[in-house]
Each structure stands twice: as structure tokens, then as C-alpha cells.
Amino acid sequence: MSDLLERLRGRGWRMTAQRRVVAEVLDGEHVHLTADEVHARAVARLPEISRATVYNTLGELVTLGEVLEVATDQRAKRYDPNAHRPHHHLVCARCGSIRDVHPTGNPLADLPESERFGFMVSNVEVTYRGLCPDCAAA
Amino acid sequence: MSDLLERLRGRGWRMTAQRRVVAEVLDGEHVHLTADEVHARAVARLPEISRATVYNTLGELVTLGEVLEVATDQRAKRYDPNAHRPHHHLVCARCGSIRDVHPTGNPLADLPESERFGFMVSNVEVTYRGLCPDCAAA
DNA sequence: CGCTTGACTTAGACATTGTCCATTGTAGGA
DNA sequence: TCCTACAATGGACAATGTCTAAGTCAAGCG
């Protein structure tokens, strides 16, 4: 946590109360929050923080590579603080809850040259979908 | 094409000019259009068609399994008429263009039981990202 | 320690994408 | 041909995100 703040400061990030709160919220719970959820939690600590600042700060954290943006549903983007270890996602098709998973195998290697259409392929995301235990029981 | 219309009629779909136009647009170009792009092309053939009807019709085609919804970016959903053959997607990180691809390997088998967290996993989507030839050249 | 300055924050307007609803229209069977 | 249930319309509304102009403040400097 203070790790994160130190890293950011070391990169010339100007430290403000707002940015600290956003970083703390992300680092506090290792879940995948939407921008609005981050905002709600930030407001609880710093009532006057604005939506625009939360969006700006999240965008900067993504640019800096400290946080990943994941679009597992077509609703709001979610922000994944676990940016430093490669992983994929397992999403509940009903309630939308997300777990980080680590499949074996290397999907990048599974795309033959003939299927690359001249693209410079740099990245792959794997999203597993299914029902979580709670939703499967219901 | 008329295949599609026949299948739909066979399932009791009431055929209207609007639905026919939407189905034809999707089937005509095998690209991944957004709802708005479908609407624009539909308007070219049937000027009075409304946005709501296009959304409704696309939703019905998805429900019927004739078309896939893909959310490769967090902007608009795209509609994939190639619903009957399993495939994954290769997306240009800059311009958003999409190609269907067929990687080797079976990512579902690559998720060990210990990484399933009790989920009933039923589906996996793989999205490759990179730069298309045009964007890489620019 | 108190300026200065440019980066940061704010509030709210705006944009995009999608959904809903009440009304009007029409496909297809009787 | 007429009826009627299903479909289409258009406009309001909702959710998410972006932009801007003006005010505010962190942090370096004297």
C-alpha cells in the first residue's frame, strides 16, 4: 500500500488527498470495483471528492501500469489492483462477481501465424464465464 | 441469408420489413457492427426505422442464438453474425477493428479444478489485442 | 517560512450507448 | 376483408464516461 504511494511519488506524481484516497480504496480491498464503487468508497473518506477526479485518477493509474482496466461485462469498466502478476478472470454470468485465475498453457502461443492477419499481437485476455456457487445454488 | 430468414420464420418470428432489413444488414457484411452502425445501414434501406426497433431486433437475434454479442471494448457492443461456428477475436487496440480467429488448444481445459472456486464454468472467451497492419504502419 | 506557479480538483454540462413506455401501425390467421 | 396480438415508433429516461472553465493547492524556491 504505502509501496504504491511511494512508487507513485517516485515517478513525480503530485500527491493530493484525493489521489491518496483513491489509491487506498483500490489497494484496500482486493476486489474489482467499478469507477462508481471507487467513488462511493472515496466519498466515505473524503466527502468533497468529485466524480471527475476519481475517473482521472483511475485513468492515470491505468496509464502508469499500477492498475488494470477490465471490461468483463459491457456495463461499467472495473479496476483491478493486481496489475503486477499476469492473470485472467472468471466471471459469474448472473451476479457479475469476478475472481482472478491462473490457467495453465499460453494462449498467445496458440494463435498460429496464419491466424494473425498481419497484426502485431501483444496481449491476450481470457475470460471464463459460469455460475458462482451462490448463483448456482439459487 | 434467406436461410436466416427462413429459420426465423420457422420459429414463429413474425416477419416485418424492419426485421428483414436488420437481418439482411447483419448477414450482408461479415464484419462486427455496433448497434448504431446496424441502424445507420438499416436506415439507408428503410428510412423510417427507429433506433429502438434495431436494439430490440438485435436483442431478439441474440436470444435466438442467431447472432453473438461481443464486448471487445468497453464502448458499444458489437454483433457477430457468425454465431454457428465457435471462434475468438483479434482486436486492434487503436482502431477497434475485429477479426475472427481460431486458436489451437482448449482454454477450458487449461483451468484446473483448483482455480475454479466452485464455479460451474461453461464458457470461455479469448480476446487477442494488438495493432492491425494499418495502425502499425501509421 | 511564505510566495509562485503549474498541476490538480471541482461542478456541471455534454456525449454516447442503451432501455422503457405509451401510442400507433400491421402481419397473418379466421 | 377484418381482427387482434404482436411489432414499431419516438421521445423521455438511465448509466457511464468525458470535457471545460474556473478555482485551489502541493511543492519547489528564495
A&B contacts, CB < 8 Å: 138
Q: Within 7 Å: CB of A113 and strand C?
A: no
CA–CA dist B39, B59 (Å, integer): 13
Reported as a pLDDT band with limits 50, 70 and 90, residue B20 is very high
Across the interface, do A136 and B120 touch by the CB < 8 Å criterion? yes
Place of cell 496481449: A123
Q: How far apart are CA B105 and CA B124, in angstroms?
A: 12
**Digit-coded pLDDT (tens) for A7-27:** 888 888 999 999 999 999 998
B23: confidence class by pLDDT, cuts 50, 70, 90: very high
What strands, in cross-sheet order, belong to the sheet with B98-101? Answer: A98-101, A88-92, A120-131, B120-131, B88-92, B98-101
Give the sign of the dihedral formed by CA A122, CA B132, CA B88, CA B34.
Answer: positive
Is B2-80's fold the same as B88-137's?
Answer: no
Restricting to B residues 26-85, those with a Cβ less than 8 Å away from any Cβ of A are: 69, 71, 73-74, 77
Under 8 Å between Cβ of B91 and B125: no
pLDDT at residue B138 tops 80: no
Cell reading at B117: 472456486
B74 CB inside 7 Å of strand D: yes
User: Are B52 and B37 a contacting pair, CB within 8 Å?
Assistant: no
Is B120 in contact with A126 (Cβ distance < 8 A)? no
In the structure, how far is the CA atom of residue B14 from the C1' atom of nucleotide C30, in angstroms? 17
pLDDT tens sequence across B42-62: 999 999 999 999 999 999 999
Residue A96's pLDDT band, with cuts at 50, 70 and 90, is: confident
- What ranges do the domains of chain B cover? 2-80, 88-137
Confidence band, pLDDT 50/70/90 cuts, at residue A135: confident
Residue-level pLDDT at B72: 78
pLDDT band at A134 (very low <50, low <70, confident <90, very high): confident
In this complex, the nucleotide whose C1' atom is nearest to the CA atom of residue A57 is C8
Which bases in strand D are touched by protein, i.e. have an atom under 7 Å from a CB? 6-11, 15-20, 25-27
Digit-coded pLDDT (tens) for A16-67: 999 999 999 998 878 899 999 999 999 999 999 999 999 999 999 999 999 9
Q: What is the mean pLDDT of chain A?
A: 90
The dihedral through the CA atoms of B47, B50, B51, B54 has a sign that is negative
Of B92, B111, B127, the CB nearest to A101: B111
Residues of B in contact with A119 (CB under 8 A): 90, 92, 99, 128, 130-133, 136
| Cross-chain residue pair A117–B77, CB shorter than 8 Å | no
Res B1 pLDDT > 70: no
Q: Which of residues 58-87 of A touch strand D (CB under 7 A)?
A: 59, 75-77
The C1' atom of C23 and the CA atom of B53 lie apart, in whole Å, by 15
Topology classification of domain B2-80: Arc Repressor Mutant, subunit A (1.10.10)
Q: What is the mean pLDDT of residues B120-138?
A: 89
| Domain covering A88-137, topology | Dna Ligase; domain 1 (3.30.1490)
The model's pLDDT over A78-89, given as tens digits with 9 standing for 90+, comes to 999 988 888 999
